[in-house]
Structure 1
């Protein structure tokens, strides 16, 4: 390996040998990836010191070869433990299972050797060699990527679908392999990269050959693990073709996910397999749904090559039978869309930066607990402590969520939003919330600790997490200064995930005293912030987790007031934290938004203010922006009619335009059939329609009708309309739309939420306006 050259860790693996465990790391330099081999390693876990004689009897009786370390560690529950080293992970798993069946305790046995090797050396994302020793580094690798998309007959669980084609696309090379046994519909030779083969076996062989030829660092796709690669693997098994798509011609290693028997994890030698939806979710992107069509239309403003037809599955089948060139173009475009999406959304930069921060591979979707383990465990070990195992903490006090104030419903001018910058990470930094600090704080004197909630106390000097947050905070400020948005986003997501990890039963660091000392402190901070503001004569009309909404009323300069209140609050919190806790405050509240006009609706049918639902006319540098939170315009379960009506209605109201004609005109257009393209409901089917027995909601009723009229239909999303004869599916709508339904259930609720405050009634207003036409 070249000295002092930063190398990105593409993948890492382990394999047992006669003399121990070999660790293989694939590292990407400037132009190519190479393997770094570390031989004769051991796997380590920890056993209870008091049970060591019993463990030694077990090892001797079963002839397990182990090595017991001399150093004594302490668990976060206070037990003493010693490290035990094994040259075989499989043997370690056997003796751990046997010991646990006898009631003996083991910790950290689930940390795999290659993960631990990197983690304990703080080799996150990249490394470099100095005097032949690996050292932490940071790099910006140029990763070579391959997008894979297959087309098959309609997938039915439990049945391997027939393979129609495989599309393979890199930024510079494209190939579409189509299986056409008959050969009658072979296209003209006018599409570069199109190859027609007679058998599935030939298609698979050429797919593997193409992947080996382009030699990607990453393979991507849309549901690429659980569908595309899994289906290809099954066809390879059936045809006797080695699915050798890894480096060194290695085949994938598959594991069924414990949380879902229909989902898999894949390990591929020297490559990462990154699934598109998981990558977008990890980067905190939100869409109405995570279908390729929806995400591509949102990000790229283009979608699949097949126009939106009622039954895309049937159209794909038709193209495959009748027009292979169009079929190949459709398949290739799906693969190209995923390539373009990763680039347009900056996902590669995000995933690389996340790897540098957490050590998580790019393929890992979510992984908050794993990220916390990776960054926290090596630091904990240096204090002489080890982590609990999942489920060991038996405290069950519930940790409350974020504080949401009761709202004051109404129409307001000049509403300021003051927002605490990363409130939960700030609380961790300020009040020293930390797993190790909790253990040491409870064991020490009160003078050495800071009081938390549910009986928690945190050590003032010895802790890990506050310093980690400090480092991440400084790194995010630097990323912002450098306009490195992916890095800033990665850090924000990681910092905000720490609270959730500490409050999750699935995390080895779970303790309700930790999570509650964050959320309950947040409640206290928000309540005292409200009291501070109201003592100065301004009403707080709403608050949610880390924000307060302040009515500036007729203040001559609301923006100036927002900045003044933020400054006063920051100084006040610094004084409070210093005087009450003898700590430095890292709480920082900012003036975030001015809504020149604002509507806080009531809960439908009551006079009580709603929560997490409002509309505002937000002041921006370019003018104003209409903002909806939780209302129909941003919800997927309302029709386009309701969404567009709400946008037009509130925009008219906020800009002072008479909205009464708009309401009447919309109703009139609806009744005249001019808005029939906007009255279609669209909903996903979470189960097969026939699995619904007792409660059959409207979308399922429509799906059952469609299944009866079109037996081959297997769609997962149903579009349907309310007609005078009940719910009917698109395109089998035979009756006239029930326009009264849409008036009462779609338009009236949207309008009345606003009209309620103006002492107007939707239906009376319609009658009044209709008389003017």
Structure 2
């Protein structure tokens, strides 16, 4: 029979000594199904030296064949490797795990220069070779079979795939969850501390499974049953790969039950690549991975991200500190508060899923990386999976991963700012400058020419790249950019709001992927790494920005600032004429990105603040968007900037800072606003220095709290004698405001961040206590 299926995910298993690939899918009637592919076999390539007899090499490889997973075929193929034609042997076996065994042995045979594509996961190898991606439809010839070990409506054996196509995404069932642990003795320990609450949220609302006081067996069982019954396609949570899943797995094991939440019977979550947990037949999406891209939020807790994105503001939810959970659980009068807190966490995760998943789906459709892995994979890994798929189409061999030493190279051009306040400033931005340069000059490791070249582009850095034929990077980037243009045209035409949202997510994903190519090329972990390519891109970029600034000056504009792919100009004549001239000279699109009604610069590069025509304030490079200051200090600086930009009166800013200082001395503040967050970047016993955050971390550890490499420690400075480090205390151990050293916060936090702005207008520290300045004298005409 022929039917149509919407792909969710891939997995595989070895059944009766043969690999079986599972394609988890939804049919046109909305049934959850699985397709079994039983014919595909694992393989890898041996790149051979032309000076050796290829038939002799074949014979040597065949001698390695092992009974449990024999080498079933060795075929000679013509491929390309970094753009050059090569001969390879394609070596096929039976059991995927044996690819690595044979890889190491084949690499030792004389005449084998390299072994390639032996580190590609089996089911991803299958999806690449057959051009299959999650969230696309396939038309396939299948035969229904009877299998009892799957929690799906129907099981099919896949006979043939006729085509892959795009159509409307069926409604996907999403379940969010969050657990609370009874950790009365410091950091949670699954061998000791029970799971007391498991909260879930679906489109139907919330539900909770509670422990019998301290016995969590019933709660875990009810959660398992609910997942099986509700049967979600996607399970979401926040930091669930690092905490919830491993904790639940160990608790279930201790209680003697299986955490059987997958669509395959008796299947438990298992840890896979990028640290994510795989759940067979479902997509386990840790939203913490997506939240890492939100640079504006330094401390990325669930409540902070949900508050920033507006899905559940802090003032509309219940917050309980993790170290107070046992108190709320033990006190019957307070337990409802804890239950509300847990349900708010589950709801926050569900609502964040509505924000992140549509974008993630489009990234998956571009890269082919399943959504659960994509959420935790770096931008570089997302780009790499797209390149691996495209390389297969171009008959290009996929390079191996290599360990490389760090190599520095010159970055983009920054034109020194003109300090002071400026009005009516245009920000001219080159659209996707670096991808455009890579396309225009055919830059990539496969187009790099190190010797003589008659038909090459020569970069300002001296590197040569052949003009023809196009390299892998150029081919892929042109596809991404062209598709984005087509998607944006469709967005303009469509009237359907749902379709418009899908298309918008698509164009944003295409933009993100295209803009990531330059960074990927210079990433030491990249298979297609090219330091020369990265150097060439930035060299051409510097040239373009420098010459664009000259053109602007020749046309009567004042160049206020320039950074990598944009210039800030004011005055002059017709801005559209300037755009046209720059665009035509370099063959790159340049547009007005922003118009600042008022903007001010200090003497430092990459540090400015501006007020746009629509009233939005941009802050770049000041402490307000960095994390090594307390929240109150960041808020003070933000407010100082806002007052100056909007009112134009420095006296208002000085008066405001004075008020903050006055309130601190009256203890009119929240301790939470004075917390300073720093990351512990190595084990505590490895620290020789006594920095405040290290001292605070050691105090927290001594009090029984888990402090490990990579975590953020929050601390406050309290009264006392000695160095500042000696007065650093973990914030959760300080309850009384009168213990806070307010003079430290005034002298080392509030005044310094305010002065970073105000000193540019001639304000002295003493002016925060007396005096004022006329800001109008600092306007640049």
TM-score range, shorter chain: 0.7 to 0.9
Deviation at residue 109 of structure 1 after TM alignment? 0.8
The answer (yes or no) to whether the contact 1:178–1:328 under 8 Å persists in 2 is no
The answer (yes or no) to whether the contact 1:670–1:676 under 8 Å persists in 2 is no
Task: Work out which of the residue numbers 184, 206, 221 in structure 2 matches 1:205.
Answer: 221
1:414-462 Cα offsets, whole Å, 9 max, x none, are 3221111111111122222244434xx6699522x43345533134234
1:518-542 Cα offsets, whole Å, 9 max, x none, are 2222122212222222233333232
SS in 2 for 1:135: strand
Query: Which sits farther off after the overlay, 514-523 or 97-106?
Result: 97-106
2:641 is aligned with 1:650: yes
Q: Match of 2:88?
A: 81
Deviation at residue 735 of structure 1 after TM alignment? 5.1
Q: Match of 1:342?
A: 353
Query: Which sits farther off after the overlay, 492-501 or 679-688?
Result: 679-688
SS in 2 for 1:219: strand
Q: Match of 2:71?
A: 65
The answer (yes or no) to whether the contact 1:660–1:765 under 8 Å persists in 2 is no
The answer (yes or no) to whether the contact 1:615–1:627 under 8 Å persists in 2 is yes
CA distance in 1, matches of 2:416, 2:402: 36
Deviation at residue 629 of structure 1 after TM alignment? 0.8
CA distance in 2, matches of 1:535, 1:525: 15
CA distance in 2, matches of 1:522, 1:115: 36
Change (3 A) 1:123 1:454: farther
CA distance in 2, matches of 1:40, 1:736: 70
The answer (yes or no) to whether the contact 2:224–2:261 under 8 Å persists in 1 is yes
The answer (yes or no) to whether the contact 1:646–1:751 under 8 Å persists in 2 is yes
Change (3 A) 1:179 1:436: same
CA distance in 2, matches of 1:54, 1:157: 56
Deviation at residue 509 of structure 1 after TM alignment? 0.9
2:140 is aligned with 1:108: no
Change (3 A) 1:502 1:124: same
CA distance in 2, matches of 1:374, 1:657: 51
The answer (yes or no) to whether the contact 1:542–1:549 under 8 Å persists in 2 is yes
1:54-113 Cα offsets, whole Å, 9 max, x none, are 563254155342311232223228554221111221222211123346685210111233
1:345-385 Cα offsets, whole Å, 9 max, x none, are 2x221122122111111112234444334433344345443
Gaps of at least 5 residues in structure 1 are 183-198, 574-584, 602-608
Task: Work out which of the residue numbers 248, 251, 275 in structure 2 matches 1:232.
Answer: 248
Deviation at residue 256 of structure 1 after TM alignment? 6.4
CA distance in 1, matches of 2:741, 2:387: 59
CA distance in 2, matches of 1:68, 1:711: 59
Task: Work out which of the residue numbers 548, 551, 554 in structure 2 matches 1:529.
Answer: 548
> What aligned pairs does 1:279-318 form with structure 2 within 5 A after superposition?
279-281=290-292, 286-299=296-309, 300-303=311-314, 307-308=318-319, 311-318=321-328
Deviation at residue 233 of structure 1 after TM alignment? 1.2
Q: Match of 2:127?
A: 118
The answer (yes or no) to whether the contact 1:418–1:589 under 8 Å persists in 2 is yes
Deviation at residue 648 of structure 1 after TM alignment? 3.6
2:236 is aligned with 1:220: yes
Q: Match of 2:578?
A: 565
Deviation at residue 35 of structure 1 after TM alignment? 0.8
Gaps of at least 5 residues in structure 2 are 142-159, 492-499, 774-781
Q: Match of 2:600?
A: 599
Over the aligned positions, Cα root-mean-square deviation in angstroms equals 3.4
Task: Work out which of the residue numbers 621, 627, 631 in structure 2 matches 1:636.
Answer: 627
2:368 is aligned with 1:359: yes
The answer (yes or no) to whether the contact 1:319–1:326 under 8 Å persists in 2 is no
> What aligned pairs does 1:2-21 form with structure 2 within 5 A after superposition?
3=3, 5=4, 7-17=5-15, 20-21=18-19
Q: Match of 1:752?
A: 755
> What aligned pairs does 1:398-409 form with structure 2 within 5 A after superposition?
398-409=408-419
CA distance in 1, matches of 2:206, 2:655: 54
CA distance in 2, matches of 1:757, 1:239: 64
The aligned length equals 710
2:202 is aligned with 1:170: yes
Q: Match of 2:32?
A: 33
CA distance in 2, matches of 1:645, 1:19: 66
Q: Match of 1:625?
A: 616
Q: Match of 1:147?
A: 176
1:271-325 Cα offsets, whole Å, 9 max, x none, are 110001113346x57422221111122222434998556x442245432553544
The answer (yes or no) to whether the contact 1:150–1:167 under 8 Å persists in 2 is yes
Q: Match of 1:254?
A: 270
> What aligned pairs does 1:185-200 form with structure 2 within 5 A after superposition?
199-200=215-216
The answer (yes or no) to whether the contact 2:442–2:470 under 8 Å persists in 1 is no
2:559 is aligned with 1:540: yes
Deviation at residue 409 of structure 1 after TM alignment? 2.5
SS in 2 for 1:695: coil
CA distance in 2, matches of 1:115, 1:707: 43
> What aligned pairs does 1:89-104 form with structure 2 within 5 A after superposition?
89-100=96-107, 104=112
Q: Match of 1:604?
A: none
Task: Work out which of the residue numbers 473, 491, 506 in structure 1 matches 2:481.
Answer: 473
Q: Match of 1:614?
A: 608
2:289 is aligned with 1:278: yes
The answer (yes or no) to whether the contact 1:288–1:294 under 8 Å persists in 2 is no
Change (3 A) 1:562 1:256: same
SS in 2 for 1:164: strand
Query: Which sits farther off after the overlay, 326-335 or 54-63?
Result: 54-63
Deviation at residue 744 of structure 1 after TM alignment? 3.5
> What aligned pairs does 1:477-492 form with structure 2 within 5 A after superposition?
477-481=485-489, 482=491, 483=500, 484-492=503-511
CA distance in 2, matches of 1:641, 1:507: 41
Change (3 A) 1:665 1:170: closer
The answer (yes or no) to whether the contact 1:68–1:82 under 8 Å persists in 2 is yes
The answer (yes or no) to whether the contact 2:629–2:677 under 8 Å persists in 1 is no
The answer (yes or no) to whether the contact 2:628–2:678 under 8 Å persists in 1 is no
Task: Work out which of the residue numbers 427, 452, 460 in structure 1 matches 2:437.
Answer: 427
Deviation at residue 501 of structure 1 after TM alignment? 1.6
The answer (yes or no) to whether the contact 1:689–1:704 under 8 Å persists in 2 is no
SS in 2 for 1:380: helix
Deviation at residue 734 of structure 1 after TM alignment? 6.8
TM-score by length of 2: 0.82
1:130-178 Cα offsets, whole Å, 9 max, x none, are 6752422223231111112111133748763322222233222643221
1:627-649 Cα offsets, whole Å, 9 max, x none, are 21121322333334433433343
SS in 2 for 1:34: strand
Deviation at residue 470 of structure 1 after TM alignment? 2.4
Deviation at residue 114 of structure 1 after TM alignment? 2.1
CA distance in 1, matches of 2:657, 2:64: 83
SS in 2 for 1:616: strand
Deviation at residue 236 of structure 1 after TM alignment? 2.1
Query: Which sits farther off after the overlay, 294-303 or 101-110?
Result: 101-110
1:111-130 Cα offsets, whole Å, 9 max, x none, are 23321222233222313216
TM-score by length of 1: 0.83
CA distance in 1, matches of 2:447, 2:131: 22
CA distance in 2, matches of 1:69, 1:707: 59
2:50 is aligned with 1:44: no
